[in-house]
């Protein structure tokens, strides 16, 4: 009788861990029926198997996080792509924002204008071209800066959607629950083989 009841408990504990954490009441009831017939050491060892449903919330959360991470592969790829594009735009902004060479050339041209009145017309034309170039560069830099700001905000928003943590941590929670189940099965098997 006790052997068949232990075998029944072992069969119940052989169910998938997800099913056991949802409802371990049948295991608990079966253990309670034979508790008085078991040696205390085995009763203590098997006691936690009857309450394996205490792991329910942790196991379900772990499964949800694992699934969420799997579903976020395209999101992570999109974030990586956007980061690379953002870095490229930042490099372009840095190149546009550095007008020191143009500023120096403009200063040299203005000095040349004072020194060389004979070349006034040609020098004024070069000055105008440099000023236009600086204005365009500054405008392009402002446009790129605005785009960078918008894309950075989008990237920050996307990054907030990423589920944090590692699958290994959540799998460890599931493994803890599974170890309790496996330990209970082992105890039953050892007791049955006595």
Mean pLDDT of 21-33: 91
Instruction: Kindly report, residue by residue over 163-187, the tens digit of the pLDDT.
Output: 888 889 999 999 999 998 889 889 8
Mean pLDDT of 118-143: 86
pLDDT at 107 (0 to 100): 83
pLDDT at 116 (0 to 100): 62
Is 16:174 a contact under the CB 8 Å cutoff? no
Backbone angles phi, psi at 170, to 5 degrees: -70, -35
CATH 1.10.3470 fits 73-162, yes or no: no
pTM for this one? 0.53
Domain residues of the chain, as ranges?
2-64+170-192, 73-162
Is 103:59 a contact under the CB 8 Å cutoff? no
Q: What is the mean pLDDT of the chain?
A: 87
Confidence band, pLDDT 50/70/90 cuts, at residue 2: confident
Backbone angles phi, psi at 9, to 5 degrees: -65, -40
Confidence band, pLDDT 50/70/90 cuts, at residue 130: very high
């Amino acid at each position: 009788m006790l052997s068949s009841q232990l075998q029944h408990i072992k069969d119940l504990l052989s169910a998938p861990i997800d099913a056991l954490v949802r409802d371990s009441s049948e295991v608990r009831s079966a253990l309670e029926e034979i508790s008085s017939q078991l040696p205390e050491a085995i009763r203590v060892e098997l006691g936690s198997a009857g309450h394996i449903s205490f792991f329910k919330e942790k196991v379900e959360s772990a499964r949800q996080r694992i699934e969420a991470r799997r579903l976020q592969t395209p999101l992570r790829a999109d974030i990586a792509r956007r980061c690379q594009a953002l870095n490229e735009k930042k490099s372009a902004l840095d190149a546009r924002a550095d007008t020191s060479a143009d500023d120096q050339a403009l200063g040299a041209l203005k000095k040349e204008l004072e020194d060389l009145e004979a070349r006034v017309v040609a020098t004024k034309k070069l000055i105008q071209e440099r000023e236009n170039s600086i204005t365009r560069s500054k405008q392009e830099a402002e446009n790129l800066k605005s785009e960078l700001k918008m894309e950075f905000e989008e990237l920050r928003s996307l990054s907030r959607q990423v589920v944090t943590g590692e699958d290994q941590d959540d799998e460890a929670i599931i493994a803890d629950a599974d170890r309790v189940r496996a330990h209970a099965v082992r105890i039953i098997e050892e007791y049955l083989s006595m």
